Structure 1
Amino acid sequence: MTRSTQAIADGIRRRVFEHTIRHNGGYLSQACSAAESLALLYNEVLRLGPSTAPAIPRPFPGVPGPHNPDSFTGAGYHGPQSPEYDRFFISPAHYALVVYAALIEAGRMAPEGLEHFNRDGSSVEMIGAEHSPGFEVTTGSLAQGLSMASGVAWARQRRGEPGRVWVYLSDGELQEGQTWECFANMAFHRISNVSVVIDVNAQQCDGAMSTVGYMGDWVARLRAFGADAVEVDGHDLAAMRTALSRRAEDRPVVTLMRTSPYQGMDDALKKRFPRLHYVRFQSSEERRELARSVAAQLGIPNPEP
């Protein structure tokens, strides 16, 4: 650990903000909410070996299959998949830009890799797929990552492998039935080598969670489905360190990170809540106004797009 975790979190926000301004839109609120948790995972918590992937991501090689020997996954950015190392599954594929920024800030991907973002033929997808940096599975429309990760975890547990399986979810995935089916089955099979981190930023593509499909007390519900669950402030690094160090003997561990989708950019983005899922600009003046306001909060000189 050579950089402070907070410095990495601040770098994630700055990098996603600058990309959003340059490209006239982006998943900016996810960087606001997830920066600390991703920074903490990559910088302190995850036991990962050095990246085995190229610093500048390779082009898309085509879909996996028996006749495509050139296909690959983005798991190499998390290092070798050896028994002693952790595995990290990212389920909300729309967090891809934030994940790429985290990989760059953690020294696992070159900054130039973002120049390939969302280009035809690139593996640096806007919506992460199995070949995208940091991803090793395609998680469907939403909420399929936990199920795939739990299968890997069960196999690793049965083999006695010491490495842990970590899964990153968005709170919108708690609206999906497959998520709850997976938690119930993990509890039934006593899968205990899984740690789930959930970014609870209270919003999704259709608006505020409370108006779309909020189902009450997430912690109580997760405990009822057999998980060891707690909730913490997702911007409080000390509280997060304590929560993420928890282990259980017979069940998965879940940490809900209560976060703000405009953390660090309050002046400009708070007034947009809950319409923050993807930040678009209606005019050049609105874009300049956001650039000036956020740059002042983040300490970025020359913010003009």
Structure 2
Amino acid sequence: MRNKKSTEEVALGIRRRVYEHAMRNNGGYLSQACSSAEQLAWLYNEELNLGDPTLPAIPKPFAGVPSAENPDYHTGAGYNGPATPDFDRLFIAPAHYALVAYATLIETGRMDPEGLEMFNQDGSSVEMIGAEHSPGMEVHNGTLGVGLSTAAGLAWGRRRNGDTGRTWVFMSDGEVQEGQTWEAVQACAYHGIDTVMAIMDVNEQQCDGAMSSVMEVGDIRSKFINFGAACVEVDGHDLSAIRDAAKEPHEGKPLIIMARTNPFHTMSILEERFPRLHYVRFKSEEERARMNVSIAADLGVDPIDYAH
């Protein structure tokens, strides 16, 4: 399917939708929209080779867990199109980016806006922390560090089947604190799996605060290269740099694009909360009103009337 919006317009639309949602619900994953909007917009609007969605534009309710007795079970991967040999596959590794991912699906015409109204509602498949049945999700990657391993395993199987499609991962930098991430890179390099490609949101934040306050990770790019990946480091808000990075030669190796980002990019008032930015819940009505006005001005829209 073709989206008529530019990638810049999609990124702005993502932030606007997340901002509106956060204001109406007294909190949300604002910082993740600040840091990752260009990356997800670029993936869905330009880079990924995906077919048309196979699931309804308005998501179905949660149909239960998979079992032989549950024919209605489905994953949310259908919003990324059919899983055919020539199409790409995408894993969104940090499940707490789900709100941003749903906004991306809406902005690229893969889900209706009504889907976001189901966010975190009882019985809904539009989970707050994305699960395998959530729109755009194929597996549950909520355990930090699982995404790249999942992609490596799938890509290895796809190669054995003769598939030509790539396996992409959207990651966060907190995942490099997990050994499984490095094992996945090493396995891809050993088996020469170069259809695994990842873009990592390097915003130096995680749920407990700044990355450096939880665990020092050192020179990530050098580590990726030493473990056998091709790795390019770019400004994650510079779409031209991201596009160029995706063209980096990486025969026989996975490609990791490290997209360094600002966790309050386009929402400057969030710097007041630094480094506690994982989930922004407003501390008072005064703060909510003040952030509403400030963020609206940054995004070029009118403040949200969240009283109705």
TM-score bracket for the superposition, by shorter chain length = over 0.9
1:269 has 2:270 as partner:
yes
* Counterpart residue number, 2:216: 214
RMSD: 1.0
* Counterpart residue number, 1:66: 68
Superposed CA deviations along residues 34-85 of structure 1, whole A, max 9, x for unmatched, are 0001001111100001111100000001111222111100000000111110
The correspondence of residues 82-121 of structure 1 with structure 2, limited to 5 A, is 82-121=84-123
* Counterpart residue number, 1:191: 193
- Residues 89, 167 of structure 2: 8 Å contact kept: yes
Letter in 1 for 2:278: H
Aligned length: 304
SS of the aligned residue for 1:191 comes to coil
Letter in 1 for 2:100: V
- Residues 60, 122 of structure 1: 8 Å contact kept: yes
1:279 has 2:289 as partner:
no
1:257 has 2:252 as partner:
no
* Counterpart residue number, 2:14: 12
Q: Shift in Å at residue 104 of structure 1?
A: 0.2
- Residues 209, 275 of structure 2: 8 Å contact kept: yes
- Residues 52, 80 of structure 1: 8 Å contact kept: yes
SS of the aligned residue for 2:265 comes to coil
Q: Shift in Å at residue 247 of structure 1?
A: 4.1
Q: Shift in Å at residue 116 of structure 1?
A: 0.6
* Counterpart residue number, 1:224: 226
Equivalent residue in structure 1 for 2:170, among 165, 168, 188: 168
Q: In structure 2, what is the Cα distance between the partners aligned to 1:109 and 1:247?
A: 34
* Counterpart residue number, 1:151: 153
Q: Shift in Å at residue 142 of structure 1?
A: 1.6
Superposed CA deviations along residues 154-179 of structure 1, whole A, max 9, x for unmatched, are 11122221100001111111111111
Superposed CA deviations along residues 5-51 of structure 1, whole A, max 9, x for unmatched, are 00000000000000001001111100000000100111110000111
> Unpaired runs of 5+ in structure 1?
none
- Residues 288, 304 of structure 1: 8 Å contact kept: no
> Unpaired runs of 5+ in structure 2?
none
Letter in 1 for 2:294: S
* Counterpart residue number, 2:132: 130
Equivalent residue in structure 2 for 1:25, among 4, 9, 27: 27
TM-score, length-scaled by structure 1: 0.98
TM-score, length-scaled by structure 2: 0.97
Q: In structure 1, what is the Cα distance between the partners aligned to 2:147 and 2:62?
A: 21
SS of the aligned residue for 1:168 comes to strand
* Counterpart residue number, 2:244: 242
Q: Shift in Å at residue 88 of structure 1?
A: 0.6
Identity, in percent, stands at 60
- Residues 226, 251 of structure 1: 8 Å contact kept: yes
Q: Shift in Å at residue 118 of structure 1?
A: 0.3
Q: In structure 1, what is the Cα distance between the partners aligned to 2:97 and 2:142?
A: 13
Equivalent residue in structure 2 for 1:50, among 49, 52, 70: 52
Q: In structure 2, what is the Cα distance between the partners aligned to 1:221 and 1:173?
A: 13
- Residues 292, 303 of structure 2: 8 Å contact kept: no
Q: In structure 2, what is the Cα distance between the partners aligned to 1:244 and 1:13?
A: 24
Letter in 1 for 2:296: A
Letter in 2 for 1:21: M
- Residues 129, 142 of structure 2: 8 Å contact kept: no
Q: Shift in Å at residue 150 of structure 1?
A: 1.0
SS of the aligned residue for 1:181 comes to helix
The runs of at least 4 consecutive aligned structure 1 residues that moved more than 6 Å come to none
